């Protein structure tokens, strides 16, 4: 059975972006280990732009799909598996983000800090998914899935802009 909920699809796509971000971070850090800090700055800018573009694309998809659902007055059914995964992801992403931030501060890595912010965003998205699915289950209103998914767009655009601009954080300036 596949999840038809837009908030669950957005959450799942953000998880794929989270994995891609981790892969890019590993690449960026390996560049530094092989070639030194000078080369890693370029790799970091490239990685940030890629991550930002992926987040913008996801925000566009979620916005279009939510608008379509709301326009057509259609919603999706509640999903227990999706609800449980999102519920477990809240404390898991919080823990992961805190550890990444602590390490980023110790080693002065903007790339790791940006990757930690992706984990923070994933935690907030998990929270939005849990709230949206709970409201959908309790109230049964068709529009909750579309409106809940639009709440996710804020986080996607915010993180996309930060990743695209590549601004330095306080820990790494």
CA atoms within a 13 Å half-sphere pointing along the CA-CB vector of 167: 9
**What is the per-residue pLDDT for 91?**
95
Q: For 96-135, write each residue's pLDDT tens digit.
A: 999 988 988 887 777 777 778 778 878 888 888 888 888 8
Distances (CA, A) of 151 to 37, 79, 83, 123: 38, 19, 17, 13
Say whether pLDDT at 152 is over 70.
yes
Q: For 84-107, write each residue's pLDDT tens digit.
A: 988 999 999 999 999 988 988 887
Say whether pLDDT at 8 is over 90.
no
Delimit the domains of the chain by residue range: 6-168
Choose the CATH number for 6-168 among 1.10.3470, 3.10.450, 1.25.40, 1.20.1510.
1.20.1510
**What is the per-residue pLDDT for 92?**
93
**What is the per-residue pLDDT for 171?**
44
């Amino acid at each position: 059975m596949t999840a038809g909920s837009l908030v669950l699809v957005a959450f799942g796509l953000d998880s794929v972006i989270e994995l891609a971000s981790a892969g890019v971070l590993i690449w960026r850090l390996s560049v530094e280990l092989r070639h030194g800090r000078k080369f890693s700055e370029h790799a970091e800018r490239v990685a940030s732009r890629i991550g930002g573009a992926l987040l913008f694309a996801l925000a566009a998809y979620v916005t279009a799909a939510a608008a379509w659902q709301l326009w057509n007055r259609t919603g999706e059914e509640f999903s227990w598996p999706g609800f449980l995964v999102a519920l477990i992801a809240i404390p898991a992403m919080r823990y992961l983000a805190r550890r990444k931030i602590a390490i980023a501060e110790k080693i002065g890595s903007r790339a790791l800090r940006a990757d930690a912010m992706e984990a923070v965003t994933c935690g907030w998205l998990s929270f939005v998914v849990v709230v949206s699915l709970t409201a959908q289950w309790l109230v049964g209103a068709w529009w909750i899935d579309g409106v809940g998914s639009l709440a996710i767009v804020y986080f996607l655009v915010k993180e996309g802009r930060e990743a695209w601009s590549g601004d330095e954080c306080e820990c790494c300036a």
